[in-house]
């Protein structure tokens, strides 16, 4: 069989209609949909990589017109420049921020400006290592909502939708088999659907359980999806 190349260059669909609500993400979804009537100016959404934080934040960004910043962006942009922008921000990988004084002043600016800040991270702010007591006390007051790893039922729905978007017919039994052997994350689901779509197009074969087994046996794919 030909060696397949994972098509990472394609961008996933991050619209509200592309998001599937389940028990693993319902709390975060409800909180974000409640904006702008948040009880606090800031909100923390946390969970492991691939759990859906980016998709949810993209939905909120469309509604709020928030400016997206990664932790790296934040470290390089001057506070004065940030203060000139509308005080609505998404701060991704916020647990990686090292300049606590800068973070403290940025946080205070959001509050004093009646703005909003959505923090995305892998752990809750209360667990971040912060030496600045004032910053730590403020972060501890932020509502923190966890997104759990998607369960099997949710991943089945996600894969069904992704295959449907590609007009790729895959039997439900094959999807259930794939779910039991793939990494439980949305990123993995997207990679697998793209890989299998490429396989179907290049090999002119249906997607079956033996095909999934064959792909799993390839070392590069196995390393990617485990």
Report the side by side order of strands in the sheet with 144-146.
67-70, 88-92, 116-121, 42-46, 144-146
Which pLDDT does position 206 carry in this prediction?
Answer: 92
- The label of the residue with tokens 């709390």 reads 27
Which pLDDT does position 2 carry in this prediction?
Answer: 34
| Regions of the chain with pLDDT less than 70 | 1-18, 219-226
Q: Is 23-146's fold the same as 150-225's?
A: no
Secondary structure of the chain in the HEC alphabet? CCCCCCCCCCCCCCCHHHCCCCCCCHHHHHHHHCCCCCCCCEEEEECCCCCCHHHHHHHHHHHHCCEEEEHHHHHHCCHHHHHHCCCEEEEECHHHCCCHHHHHHHHHHHHHCCCEEEEEECCCHHHCCCCCHHHHHHHCCCCEEECCCCCHHHHHHHHHHHHHHCCCCCCHHHHHHHHHHCCCCHHHHHHHHHHHHHHHHHHCCCCCHHHHHHHHCCHHHHHHHC
DSSP bridge pairs for 68: 90
Domain ranges of the chain: 23-146, 150-225
* Tokens encoding 184: 């439980």
State if pTM tops 0.85. no
Which pLDDT does position 165 carry in this prediction?
Answer: 85
Per CATH, is 23-146 categorized as 3.40.50.300? yes
Which pLDDT does position 95 carry in this prediction?
Answer: 94
Per CATH, is 150-225 categorized as 1.10.8.60? yes
């Amino acid at each position: 069989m030909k060696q397949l190349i994972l098509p990472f260059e394609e961008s996933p669909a991050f619209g509200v209609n592309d998001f599937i609500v389940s028990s693993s993400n319902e709390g975060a979804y409800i909180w974000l949909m409640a904006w702008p009537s948040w009880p606090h100016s800031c909100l923390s959404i946390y969970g492991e990589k691939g759990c859906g934080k980016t998709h949810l934040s993209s939905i909120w960004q469309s509604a709020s017109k928030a400016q997206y910043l990664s932790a790296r962006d934040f470290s390089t942009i001057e506070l004065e420049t940030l203060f000139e922008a509308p005080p609505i921000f998404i701060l991704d990988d916020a647990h990686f921020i090292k300049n606590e004084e800068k973070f403290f002043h940025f946080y205070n600016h959001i509050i004093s400006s009646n703005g909003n800040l959505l923090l995305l991270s892998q752990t809750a702010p209360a667990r971040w290592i912060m030496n600045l007591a004032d910053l730590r006390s403020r972060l501890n007051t932020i509502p923190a909502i966890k997104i759990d790893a998607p369960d099997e039922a949710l991943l089945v729905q996600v894969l069904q939708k992704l295959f449907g978007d590609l007009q790729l017919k895959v039997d439900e039994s094959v999807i259930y088999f794939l779910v039991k052997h793939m990494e439980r994350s949305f990123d993995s689901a997207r990679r697998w659907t793209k890989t299998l779509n490429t396989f179907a197009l290049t090999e002119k074969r249906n997607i079956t359980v033996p095909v999934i087994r064959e792909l799993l046996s390839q070392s590069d794919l196995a390393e990617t999806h485990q």
